[in-house]
Amino acid sequence: MIRAKCAWVWNKKFTVSRTTKVVGQPTNRVARPIPASSTLTHRQGPERRRRRFVCARASAPVEQEEEVKSGANLNGFFLDDEVLREIERGIAADLGLGNPSLPEETSALLRRLVRAGSSENDDEGEKFERTDERRVPGCASRVWLSAEVVDASGGLVCFRGDSDSAVSRGLCASLCRNFSGKLTPSEFLSLGSDFLKRVTADVDPILAGSHHRHGLHSIFDSMRKRANELTLADGAIPEPFPSLVVTAKGLHPKGAYAESQARYLEPDPARVRRLVDLLRETKCGVVAHFYMDPEVQGVLAAAKRDWPHIHISDSLVMADRAVDMVAEGGCEKICVLGVDFMSENVRATLDHQGHRDVGVFRMAADLIGCTLAEAAEAEGYSRYLEEAEKSSENSLHVVYINTSLKTKALAQHQVPTITCTSSNVVQTILQSSSQLEGDLSVFYGPDAYMGANIAEMLARLAQMTDEEVQKVHPKHDASSIKNLLSRFRYYGDGICVVHDMFGAEVADTIERCYSDAYLTAHFEVPGEMFGLALRASHRGGRGVIGSTQNILDFILSKVQESVSHDLSSERLQFVLGTESGMITSVVNSVQDLLRQAGSPVEVEIVFPVNSSAVVTGVQDAAPAMPSGLNVVPGVAQGEGCGMEGGCASCPYMKMNSLDSLLGVLEMLRGGGKDSDAVLQQLEPRKYSETVGGKTFAEVGTVPILHMRHFQKNKELSGELVADILARGRGN
C-alpha cells in the first residue's frame, strides 16, 4: 500500500506547516496512493499534535519532498505527459472549449454532445447491456457505464457507456473514448477526483444552470469507482458499509447495523399512545437532538401526530422550539433529550424570555457528558484564550454552541465572545473580519477538527478569484481572506468522540467504493472525511459540509431533483458522515416526499462504520463511559465502531432512552416527595459561581445573544463591536 508519512516542520513564514512524503510499502493489495490534494487530508488526532492550538498564518501549501516532474508524477504514478495532453485535447475538442462567454454557447455545446453520442457505433451500442448494476447515480437521465481491462491493450482500462438521453450519451461517449486504452486502472485512479473539474473548468459556466453539469461529474465518479474495482484482487473487495434503502413503500436494511437502525422506525402503537397520554396529562413538551436513538425518535415522530409539542432538531433550535411550546402551546414543562449543555441552553433561553416558572428536565441523574464540551472546560482552554486576553490587538473568540454556560461565561470574561453553530461558523468569522475592516484576530474553539476544516476552507478561498470569493461573502476578496487566514487561530485539543472516528480507514473505503455516491460530512469530522466531502461539493454539487440540518436539506434537495426527473429504477446513494441518529429524520422526510410524489425513486443511506470492530454482549464498557454502556448501543451483531474505522452512534446521547422519558413523565404525573427529590436531580446544572460579579448564567447568555443578533441582522451587534474595540486597540 502507498502510505503518507507526515511531519510537522517549523517555517518562519507560515509558522507551522505540514510535509507529506508518499512512500511505498509492501502489501498484498494493489497499490492505491492516498491523494495529497489537501493540507488536511491525512488524519491528525489532537493527541498527535505538537501544539495545543494552531495558528493558520497563511495559505501554506504542502511541501512535496519528491519533485513533481512537469505535472506527470501524480500520487506516486509517473504518467506520460503526451498521454495526459491527448486526453485533455480530446475532451476539449468534444466540448468545444474556447469561448464560454457567449450565451449561444450553451445550445451549441448541447448540439455538439448530441453529435458525439450519435457518432458512436450503433451496432456496438445495441450490444451494450443496460443493467441496474451499471446505472450511474446522480444523472438527470438514465446512464449506464462499464469498465474492463482488455488483454490485447496491455492491461489498459477500457470504458463503455450508454444513455437514454442524447446529450448524456454524448457526455458518456466523450469520456469513455478519451480515457479508454490510455491508462491502467491504477494510473486512471491516480489522476484524482478533481482531474475532470480542472480540465473542464471553462465549460462549467456554460452548464452552470443545466443538470448536465452534474451528469458530467457523476459519470466520471462512476468511472473511478469501476476502475477501482478492477485494481482489487479476487476476494479483496471490502465488505460494503451497512445501509438502509428507503422507498415510498418501505425500508430495506442491508447489514446488521442497518437492521438495528431500521427496527424502531415503525414503532409499537401502544408505546406511542402511552407517551401521548403522559405528555397531554403533564402538559409537557419534548425537544430532542437529531442524535437520539432510533427507538426514541421513531416513537417521538409517531407521537407528534397527536401531540404537536415535540421537536427534533439541532441543539440551538431546540431552545427556540421550547420557548414556542411554552408561549404558544401552553406547555408547563419541557423534557430535553440531549447532552447536558443542551438542557442548560434551554433553561437559559426560557429564563431570558421570562419563563422561569417552567420546569426543564434531563433524562438521567448522572451527568450526560460530551467530550467536546468537556475539552472547553479544561485548564488548557483558558490558557489558549490568554493570548487573546493579553493581546493589544482586536480579538474575538468564536465558541461553538455545543459548550456549557460555564465555558461561555468564563470565555466572555476573558475575551469578547460570540457563539456559533456548524452552519453559521464560516459566515460569522467572515462577517466579523469584514466588519472590523480586517483589523481582527479570530480565536475559534473548542473543536479541533472544525477549526482545521475552517482553516482549510479559508486557504482554498484565498486561492480563488475576487469574484469567486465575493460569492461567498460580498465584502471580501482574495487579499482580505489571506489577511484573515493569517490572524485565524483554533484550539487543537477538543474533539467529538463520534466524529473523531470518521478517520483514514473510513475515508479510504469511501473513496474506493463509494466514489459515485453523494457525500455528506459534519463540520466536526477529521480532515480525511472533510476533504472528500469538500471536493465532492466542488464537483457539480455532489457533496455537502455543514450542520445536521444542512445535511438533511442537501439530501432532500437531491431527492427532489430526482423525483422531478421522473426516472424509473433510479437509486440515489448518500454516505451519512455524521451520527446515525439522523436516520429517523432522513427516513421520515424522504418517505413523505416520495409518497406525495408517488415516486419509485429509491434512496440508499450508507452508514460508514467499521465492520471489523465487533461489539458483543460481554464487551466491557468503554473507558470514561457510564457503567454498562456499550460503545455503540443498539448494534444488532458484528458491526460497530473502531478507532480508525468510523462510528455512527454517540454513547452519551443514548443515555436518553425511551424508558427514561416515560419514567420522568410518570414522576411528573404522580408527584410526591420521592418523585420531587428525583426530579430535582434531573434539572439542568445550576451554577453558584460568579465571574465579574455576575452569575455564570447571566454572563454565559451574552455570547448566545450576540449570535442571535447576527442571525437576525447578518452583522455583529454594536455592543459586541464596542466590546472588541474597548478591550483591543481601542483600549
The CATH number assigned to the domain holding 81 equals 3.90.1010.10
β-partners of residue 177 are none
- Using omega within 30 degrees of 0 as the cis cutoff, is the peptide bond preceding 633 cis? no
Task: Find the domain containing 77 and state its range.
Answer: 73-231
Name the phi and psi angles at 429, rounded to 5.
-70, -45
Whether the Cβ atoms of residue 287 and residue 322 lie closer than 8 Å to each other: yes
Which segment, 238-247, 460-469, 479-488, 499-508, is predicted with the most confidence on average?
479-488
| Separation CA 158–CA 61 (nearest Å) | 35
In terms of domains, do 465 and 570 share one? Answer: no
Backbone CA torsion sign across 595, 597, 600, 603 = negative
Cell of 49: 499534535
| Separation CA 313–CA 321 (nearest Å) | 9
Listed residues 626, 649, 672: the one ending a domain: 649
Whether the Cβ atoms of residue 326 and residue 335 lie closer than 8 Å to each other: no
Cell of 308: 404537536
Q: Name the band, by pLDDT with cuts 50, 70 and 90, for residue 5.
A: very low
Number of domains, the chain: 4
Cell of 365: 441523574
List pLDDT tens digits, range 387-432.
888 887 899 999 988 888 899 999 999 999 999 987 789 999 999 9
In terms of domains, do 201 and 119 share one? Answer: yes
Task: Among 96-110, 269-283, 584-598, name the one with the lowest average pLDDT.
Answer: 96-110
In a domain, 581, yes or no: yes
| Separation CA 201–CA 95 (nearest Å) | 11
In a domain, 49, yes or no: no
In terms of domains, do 298 and 169 share one? Answer: no
Place of cell 482500462: 157
In terms of domains, do 332 and 448 share one? Answer: no
Residue 225 vs residues 134, 159, 186, 237: alpha-carbon distances, Å: 11, 12, 11, 12
State the CB neighbour count (10 A cutoff) for residue 61. Answer: 12
- Mean pLDDT, the chain, rounded, equals 76
In terms of domains, do 299 and 209 share one? Answer: no
The predicted structure's pLDDT at residue 239:
59
Whether the Cβ atoms of residue 420 and residue 428 lie closer than 8 Å to each other: yes
In a domain, 39, yes or no: no
State the CB neighbour count (10 A cutoff) for residue 491. Answer: 26
Residues 6 or more apart whose Cβ sits within 8 Å of residue 553: none
State the CB neighbour count (10 A cutoff) for residue 483. Answer: 17
Place of cell 419509485: 600
In a domain, 713, yes or no: yes
Q: Determine the longest span between alpha carbons in the chain, in angstroms.
A: 85
In terms of domains, do 251 and 277 share one? Answer: no
Residue 26 or 244, more confident:
244
The predicted structure's pLDDT at residue 275:
97
| Separation CA 583–CA 366 (nearest Å) | 27
Cell of 195: 482531474
Residue 376 half-sphere exposure toward CB, CA atoms < 13 A: 28
In terms of domains, do 179 and 257 share one? Answer: no
Question: What letters, b where the CB count within 10 A reaches 16 and e where it falls short, cover 102-125?
Answer: eeebbeebbebbeebbeebeeeee
Burial status of residue 222 (CB atoms within 10 A of its CB: 0-12, 13-18, 19 or more): buried
139 belongs to the catalytic site:
yes
| Separation CA 451–CA 207 (nearest Å) | 34
Q: Name the band, by pLDDT with cuts 50, 70 and 90, for residue 359.
A: very high
Q: Which of 6, 55, 139, 420 is catalytic?
A: 139
List pLDDT tens digits, range 174-208.
889 889 988 888 888 888 777 887 777 766 665 55
Q: What is the average pLDDT across 24-39?
A: 30
The predicted structure's pLDDT at residue 685:
85
β-partners of residue 252 are 245
The predicted structure's pLDDT at residue 9:
27
Cell of 628: 454498562
Whether the Cβ atoms of residue 398 and residue 444 lie closer than 8 Å to each other: yes
Place of cell 438533511: 552
Residue 639: CATH number of its domain:
3.40.50.10800
* 244: pLDDT strictly greater than 70: yes
As a three-state string, the secondary structure of 495-516 is CCCCHHHCCHHHHHHHHHHCCC
List pLDDT tens digits, range 317-343.
899 999 999 999 999 999 999 888 889
Instruction: Name which of 55, 50, 14 is nearest 490 in CA terms.
Output: 55
Residues 6 or more apart whose Cβ sits within 8 Å of residue 140: 165, 168, 211, 212, 214, 215, 561, 565
DSSP string, 10-71: EETTTEEEEEEEEEE---SSPP-PPP--STT-S---GGG-SSSEEEE-S----EESS---TT
In terms of domains, do 95 and 206 share one? Answer: yes
Cell of 132: 441496474
Residue 57 or 678, more confident:
678
In a domain, 67, yes or no: no
Alpha-carbon 682 to chain mean position:
32
Instruction: Name which of 573, 546, 541, 468 is nearest 197 in CA terms.
Output: 541
| Separation CA 323–CA 172 (nearest Å) | 53
Residue 62 or 560, more confident:
560
Residue 276 or 48, more confident:
276
Q: What is the average pLDDT across 103-127?
A: 61
List pLDDT tens digits, range 295-305.
788 899 899 99
The predicted structure's pLDDT at residue 637:
28
Q: Which amino acid is at 154?
A: G
Q: Name the band, by pLDDT with cuts 50, 70 and 90, for residue 458.
A: very high
In a domain, 43, yes or no: no
Whether the Cβ atoms of residue 692 and residue 413 lie closer than 8 Å to each other: yes
In a domain, 1, yes or no: no
Instruction: Name which of 207, 145, 202 is nearest 176 in CA terms.
Output: 145
* 3-state SS class at 605: strand
Instruction: Name which of 262, 267, 271, 290 is nearest 636 in CA terms.
Output: 262
Q: Which amino acid is at 672?
A: G
Alpha-carbon 160 to chain mean position:
33
The predicted structure's pLDDT at residue 447:
86
Residue 237 or 494, more confident:
494
In a domain, 184, yes or no: yes
Which segment, 147-156, 164-173, 689-698, 708-717, is predicted with the most confidence on average?
708-717
Whether the Cβ atoms of residue 463 and residue 39 lie closer than 8 Å to each other: no
In terms of domains, do 433 and 510 share one? Answer: no
| Separation CA 542–CA 139 (nearest Å) | 11
Residue 179 vs residues 55, 172, 227, 231, 358: alpha-carbon distances, Å: 42, 11, 11, 16, 66
| Separation CA 669–CA 282 (nearest Å) | 6
Indicate the pTM of the whole model.
Answer: 0.63
State the CB neighbour count (10 A cutoff) for residue 126. Answer: 8
In terms of domains, do 345 and 304 share one? Answer: yes
138 φ/ψ sector (left φ>0, alpha ψ -120 to 50, else beta): left
Whether the Cβ atoms of residue 304 and residue 310 lie closer than 8 Å to each other: yes
Residue 90 or 668, more confident:
668
DSSP for residue 135: B
Whether the Cβ atoms of residue 607 and residue 645 lie closer than 8 Å to each other: no
Instruction: Name which of 556, 618, 629 is nearest 587 in CA terms.
Output: 556
Q: What is the average pLDDT across 243-252?
A: 89
Vertex 249 angle, CA 248 and 253, to 5°: 95
In terms of domains, do 340 and 225 share one? Answer: no
In terms of domains, do 520 and 617 share one? Answer: yes
Pairing of β 2-11 and β 15-24: antiparallel
Question: What letters, b where the CB count within 10 A reaches 16 and e where it falls short, cover 172-186?
Answer: bbbbbbbbbebbbbb
